[in-house]
Amino acid sequence: MADSLVRKHFSDRLTSRKGAWVSLGLVLLVLVALFGFFTGAQAPERTGHAPSTSESTQVDELMQQFPDAGQQSVLTVVTRDDGAALSGEDLTKIDEMLPVLNQHADGETQKPRISEDGKAAALVTPVVVGETNTDTAELMSSLRDDIAANTPAGMSMLVTGGPAFGADVAAAFDGADFTLLLVTILIVAILLIITYRSPVLWLIPLIVVALGDGLAGRVTAAAGEAWNLEFDAGIISVLVFGAGTNYALLLISRYREELLRHEDHRAALSVAWRKTVPAILASNVTVVLALLTLILASIPMTRGLGIPAALGLIIALGAVLFLLPPLLAIFGRKIFWPFIPKPGDTRESGRAWRGIASKVAKRPGVSLVAGLALLAVMATGLLGSSVGLSQLEKFSVQSESATGLEVLSEHFPPGEAQPIFIVSNSHGADDVLEAVRDSEGVVRAVPIGTTDDETLTKIMVTSEYGPSTEESIAQIGDLRELVHGIEGADALVGGAVATDVDARGGNEADLWLVAPLVLAVSFVVLLFLLRSLVAPVLLLLVNLASAVAAIGAGSWLSRIIFEQPALDLQVPLLAFLFLVALGIDYTIFLVHRARSEASMLGTRAGMVEAVAHTGSVITSAGIVLAAVFAALGVLPLVTLGQLGLIVGIGVIVDTLIVRTVIVPSIFSLMGDRIWLPGKLKMVQPEHKDQTVEPVADNSGPILVTH
């Protein structure tokens, strides 16, 4: 009661004639100050694919002790345009390219290595990479420009290898975040115009959420810089726009509803704010706490997403609760033009949703079976699915490094571009070399350097298997078992493929750690919100089934339509997190209203009334969120495209099937038992124009508006 009075007092102040202007001024002042304070921060680049304690990471750290720590090899693959074997004259021309390559080298480019079929040559150039992929991209761009200007006629020269891949990734993302932001804003704007059917109203929530996103971008970059957190800014932006727009839709929908009951638009807005704040807060807390569980993950890029994403959603919450209401109060009822809601308006909103909910309530068993059957069919998409993409499969845009690797693999051992590195104690290095050279699938193994104190030796191993294929992944395990067994060598196996192996194990461990925590967080929030034990258990089970179904459907579509052989490593965990946490949003929006209506009408009729009032807004919110996540597909990373596809499917299924059919079916079947061990306390209808009448099929009373 005290909490309700505090909210009433605050909401009245927030929306009053004078208070709205004061609140608006204070919020804008805070925004300007925060924008200025956090300007200039730059979050670390996304580089941490494997756990920090993994063997591949240990190898990376040990390799920093070698004199050539900042040096990596760039491969230039040379072929004839007509596909013929390289002639003696061609080889002479290739030799003449060495000075061009050496202009960018940290040392001397090796003499051309000719493939067994004689149709390709590979030149290895040692380069000093930059601190970030963006820095390396400048070096690669300059190298490629010089090669292009001097390539002999009739020949093709492609630059590939680790530094080239990193540079191409950075180049692919040039301008991508701006494109994502532009597409996201366009999607939200179009959907808001359709939802509100007003040429003006859509601008208000869009401006509010855009300001929140701008501030979130700066604050999260500062957090990443301060705590060395690696994350994808595109995901943060999508979360802020999606969640912020959802909160705004819920608040404005209730505001429109209250305008039908109040002459004073400020009083209507104050009531709407008070009525929606508990659901919005519960929704936000659920997602924020779920995101914070990521700090326990072992993969740096997964762990780094938790805090920035949580900060972004808190900022979105603040923008909607404290900037949007004053703006709505100042503009008044006319902001809904041309469909201005007025007291006494007899047009019933939600008639279609009421009809659907009533039909579900009359035949809840059939409806529940049908809804669950659809989820089961979607979940079958998991059959035959796998996790883990190769380097070539991770990007949706073609690059010179990818093309170069394909050409290299046609003529040389596929592992040439991504060698395996072994670091061993120097006194055991000969034993390691002998064992590794005799290992299956090894083309060559050579020592390539020692530390200044000669205690450690670095060995480069070339595999005959393509990077990240099943054979190469198994080979890493075999090599580790082999070298670990050499007494006194203390040898460790690393390199790009080893990092991929460790990343697979780390992501799987993170999934089994974080997923139960996300479910536990969602359960606790529902427990406190609904003051029931039965309802949270059933709702969480439904939400879990919906998430699994969406991942199955998304995996199937990725394979069949987009010809992606597997889900990327981070996709299952992040998809599950967003599907459960964001899916609970809509559960909270619906069931919070259902409990309020049930206290006046009974559980079955209360759920029908809740669907009638929230069906439109939840569907609109779901479509907006799904479309915003789908916008991740404009980025060149397959991981984000798959994540957007799965979450988009899940949100649509949540809004149209779970919240419209499955949840109302469960409430109709359970009746008042859904609130056990608590008891539903009945109160009189809040509005005089509402009366309760029984229906003929005894499925419970329904609300009739006179």
Q: What is the pLDDT of residues 543-554, one digit of tens each?
A: 999 999 999 999
The dihedral of CA 377, 379, 383, 386: what is its sign? Answer: positive
Over range 86-91, report the average pLDDT: 94
At 346 the pLDDT is 59
Report yes or no on 322 lying in a domain. Answer: no
Q: What is the predicted pLDDT for the residue at 695? A: 38
Q: Which of 271, 263, 305 has its CA nearest to residue 288?
A: 305
300-322 vs 265-292: helix crossing angle, rounded to 10: 170
> Which of 155, 172, 189 is the endpoint of a domain?
172
Last residue of a domain, one of 153, 172, 191: 172
pTM: 0.86
pLDDT surpassing 50 at residue 706? no
End-to-end CA, the chain:
30
Q: How many domains does the chain have?
A: 2
CATH number at residue 369: 1.20.1640
Residues 462, 443 contacting (CB under 8 angstroms): yes
- Comparison of pLDDT for 531 and 314, the residue scoring more: 314
What is the predicted pLDDT for the residue at 701?
39
pLDDT tens by residue, 363-384? 999 999 999 999 999 999 999 8
Q: Is the pLDDT of residue 646 over 90?
A: yes
Distance CA 45, CA 584 (A): 31
* pLDDT value, residue 324: 96
Residue 310, domain member (yes or no): no
pLDDT for position 688: 46
Residue 548 CB contacts under 8 Å (≥ 6 apart), including other chains: 375, 379, 382
The band of 636, judged by pLDDT with boundaries at 50, 70 and 90, is: confident
Q: Which two tokens stand for residue 174?
A: 């040039």
Is residue 169's pLDDT more than 50?
Answer: yes
pLDDT of 416-425, one tens digit each? Answer: 878 999 999 9
Is 503 a domain residue? no
Nearest 5°: phi and psi at 599? -65, -15
pLDDT digits over 487-517, tens only?
Answer: 989 999 999 899 999 999 999 999 999 999 9
Residue 285 near residue 493, CB atoms below 8 Å: no
pLDDT: which is higher, 593 or 394: 593
How much is the pLDDT for 4? 56
Report yes or no on 693 lying in a domain: yes
Provide the pLDDT confidence category of residue 685 given band limits of 50, 70 and 90. Answer: low
- Quick check: helix, strand or coil at residue 260? coil
Q: What are phi and psi of 53, to 5 degrees?
A: -95, 0
The Cβ of residue 452 has, within 10 Å, a number of other Cβ atoms equal to 9
Phi, psi at residue 298, to the nearest 5°?
-95, -25
Query: What CA–CA distance (Å, rounded) separates 684 from 706?
Result: 16
Whether residue 6 is predicted with pLDDT greater than 70 in this model: the reply is no
pLDDT of residue 349: 60
Containing domain of residue 138, as a range? 71-172
CATH number of the CATH domain containing 100: 3.30.70.360
Mean pLDDT of 73-80: 93
- Residue 640 inside a domain? The answer is yes
pLDDT category at 705 given cuts 50, 70, 90 is: very low
Calculate what percentage of the chain has a pLDDT beyond 70. 94
Residue 627 lies inside a defined structural domain of this protein:
yes
pLDDT digits (tens, 9 = 90+) for 235-258: 899 999 999 999 999 999 999 989
Average pLDDT score over the chain: 88
Contacts of 558 by beta carbon, 8 Å cutoff, 6+ apart = 564, 567, 642, 645
In this prediction, residues 427-433 reach a mean pLDDT of: 95
DSSP state of 655: I
Per-residue confidence (pLDDT) for residue 398, from 0 to 100? 76
Domain-located, residue 156: yes
> Is 137 among the domain residues?
yes
DSSP secondary structure letter of residue 531: T
Q: Which of 172, 202, 227 is the last residue of a domain?
A: 172
**What are residue 456's phi and psi, to 5 degrees?**
-120, 145
